[in-house]
Chains A and B, each alone.
Chain A
């Protein structure tokens, strides 16, 4: 390995679910401490890119290194907030129990047998949950059932679940898709704070809005169409989405 501080490296990555590739020859490097915004049209492969980075999918060709390791090995160092959580909202579980699940595998020594170790949560785990809920301003929800949460509250709880494992990289897929605009800027202000101590990747459809927060933008539409730190301009968006794109200025201050 070359001695760089690229904590995410994708080399010539191609992935497909069926015959047609969803992602093709993706070349992407992310340095430690970046706040990368991933934008692009629907079905352009944004979420798939995240799942490749998370090691949930394997690329058909190309190489991925996360924190210098195979993505499967680096999984526990990543925090993930999915767009569509994989659980049903009426599951009998409290917010605290849900966030505790983010501590699984945290103490586990590496090795195949580690996760077969039985056990219970430690005092440390419980206080980590408390801190994470405080950080996302959801500590008052701790004993609530998830069934009663609003969209914005659930999003904060999912963020806490991702943070409680003390990730090096935080990965969010459309964190503001299901909540209103006021909450949207609250979530991004929160991410701005978190950015002080971790690398963040966020997929968003809202290119104008995220540009005031991110340090770097990647535009994905099957291929990586641009990847720069410059401000996002109209010509580039037109190139990415095609014609007739309305650019709405967001200013929440």
Chain B
């Protein structure tokens, strides 16, 4: 660990990596909270994997893979969201289809692109050590954008995420805000792909928020706590992976996963303990009075 921090002072690429981890944590803290409370992790997974199709096509036709990723993410978010609002039953089938089709398209394009084979792995698993300065700026801009939109419209988002029917009755344009939310999730997914790759995006999006939900009980606090947890996991994961020269993305995810499992066990035990003491107190206070 101490090796990591002395290296951090020396090497620019490590500083960039830490910064990338922190910037990604903001996005995944804010949007991950919505993903967890709205229970759309599977949907976010579908968006993440369809991104490979966009990346593959962009690489094949000679564009920046990031622009292909953005295009594919937003397109699949709108498609899934629209189908969900229109015909609710077929949502999960469509997500599975987009998930598989996106990956298949991506792999086909990449196989036909000479000299890019090795990059496939970095799309799938990401590489926080290779994030460019330009990407950092993009991530910072995206974070600012997400925070601005969420703070301006947090009431509308809460209404839509909590109870769509009631939101509709209060005159909220549910369709617009739901699709906006999905597009913002899609943008976050693209942002996170650079750090941990598209296979692990889902973990960084949901695990910090899911842990936060064990301890705090409002959307705002969940966003804050999961941002902090995400930062902690990405910095510590990076530090842990540095000395034994392990890939950083999977290290970050394993750390988050272990924390989630421990936290789930702990909060479950805590709940049982609280319930038991409540009953004991009730019994000693004079028991049943009915």
Residues of chain A touching chain B, judged by Cβ–Cβ distance below 8 Å, are 54-56, 75-76, 78, 80, 82, 85-88, 91-94, 97-98, 100-102, 104-105, 108, 114-116, 118-121, 145, 161, 165
With A75-B171, A80-B166 already in contact, the answer to whether A92 and B213 are too (CB < 8 A) is yes
Contact status B163-A86, CB under 8 Å: yes
With A56-B168, A92-B217 already in contact, the answer to whether A101 and B173 are too (CB < 8 A) is no
Roughly how many angstroms separate A116 CA and B173 CA in the complex, as a whole number?
8
- Is B17 in contact with chain A by the CB < 8 A criterion? no
- Is B172 in contact with chain A by the CB < 8 A criterion? yes
Roughly how many angstroms separate A161 CA and B217 CA in the complex, as a whole number?
20
Q: For residue B217, which residues in chain A have a CB less than 8 angstroms away from its CB?
A: 92-94, 145
Q: For residue A119, which residues in chain B have a CB less than 8 angstroms away from its CB?
A: 152, 155
23 CB contacts below 8 A, A to B, read A56-B165, A56-B168, A56-B169, A75-B168, A75-B169, A75-B171, A76-B171, A80-B166, A82-B166, A86-B164, A86-B165, A92-B216, A92-B222, A94-B217, A97-B218, A101-B155, A101-B159, A101-B167, A102-B170, A104-B159, A115-B173, A119-B155, A120-B155
Q: Apart from A76-B171, A104-B172, list 10 A-B contacts with CB within 8 A.
A: A75-B168, A76-B169, A78-B169, A92-B219, A94-B217, A101-B155, A101-B159, A115-B172, A118-B152, A118-B153
**Nearest CB to that of A100 among chain B residues?**
B155
Contact status A108-B171, CB under 8 Å: yes
Q: For residue B170, which residues in chain A have a CB less than 8 angstroms away from its CB?
A: 75-76, 101-102, 104-105, 165
Contact status A94-B172, CB under 8 Å: no
Contact status B152-A87, CB under 8 Å: no
Roughly how many angstroms separate A108 CA and B159 CA in the complex, as a whole number?
15
- Is B158 in contact with chain A by the CB < 8 A criterion? yes
Q: For residue B222, which residues in chain A have a CB less than 8 angstroms away from its CB?
A: 92
Contact status B159-A94, CB under 8 Å: no
Q: For residue A97, which residues in chain B have a CB less than 8 angstroms away from its CB?
A: 158, 218
With A104-B156, A121-B155 already in contact, the answer to whether A94 and B173 are too (CB < 8 A) is no
Roughly how many angstroms separate A76 CA and B170 CA in the complex, as a whole number?
6
Q: What size tier do the contact residues of chain B reach?
A: 20 to 34
Roughly how many angstroms separate A88 CA and B213 CA in the complex, as a whole number?
14
Q: For residue B153, which residues in chain A have a CB less than 8 angstroms away from its CB?
A: 118
Q: For residue B169, which residues in chain A have a CB less than 8 angstroms away from its CB?
A: 54-56, 75-76, 78, 80
Q: For residue B162, which residues in chain A have a CB less than 8 angstroms away from its CB?
A: 87, 91, 93, 98, 101
Roughly how many angstroms separate A98 CA and B163 CA in the complex, as a whole number?
10
- Is B37 in contact with chain A by the CB < 8 A criterion? yes
Contact status B163-A115, CB under 8 Å: no
Contact status A104-B163, CB under 8 Å: no
Closest 8 CB pairs of A and B: A118-B152, A105-B171, A104-B170, A105-B170, A92-B217, A86-B165, A87-B163, A86-B163
Contact status A93-B218, CB under 8 Å: yes
B102 to chain A, nearest CB (A): 29
Q: For residue B216, which residues in chain A have a CB less than 8 angstroms away from its CB?
A: 92
Contact status B173-A82, CB under 8 Å: no
Q: For residue A100, which residues in chain B have a CB less than 8 angstroms away from its CB?
A: 155
Roughly how many angstroms separate A204 CA and B80 CA in the complex, as a whole number?
37
Q: For residue B165, which residues in chain A have a CB less than 8 angstroms away from its CB?
A: 56, 82, 86
Q: For residue A82, which residues in chain B have a CB less than 8 angstroms away from its CB?
A: 165-166
**Nearest CB to that of B148 among chain A residues?**
A118
Contact status B166-A91, CB under 8 Å: no
Q: For residue B163, which residues in chain A have a CB less than 8 angstroms away from its CB?
A: 85-87, 101
Q: For residue A55, which residues in chain B have a CB less than 8 angstroms away from its CB?
A: 169
Roughly how many angstroms separate A114 CA and B170 CA in the complex, as a whole number?
12
Contact residue among B158, B164, B172, B218 (Cβ-Cβ distance under 8 Å from A105): B172
Roughly how many angstroms separate A92 CA and B172 CA in the complex, as a whole number?
21
Q: For residue B166, which residues in chain A have a CB less than 8 angstroms away from its CB?
A: 80, 82, 85-86, 101-102, 161
Most chain B beta-carbon contacts within 10 A, residue among A80, A82, A91: A91
Q: For residue A87, which residues in chain B have a CB less than 8 angstroms away from its CB?
A: 162-163
Contact status A115-B171, CB under 8 Å: yes
Roughly how many angstroms separate A130 CA and B163 CA in the complex, as a whole number?
21
Roughly how many angstroms separate A161 CA and B170 CA in the complex, as a whole number?
11
**Nearest CB to that of B39 among chain A residues?**
A88
**Nearest CB to that of B165 among chain A residues?**
A86
Contact residue among B39, B156, B159, B218 (Cβ-Cβ distance under 8 Å from A92): B218
**Nearest CB to that of A85 among chain B residues?**
B163
Most chain A beta-carbon contacts within 10 A, residue among B158, B176, B219: B158
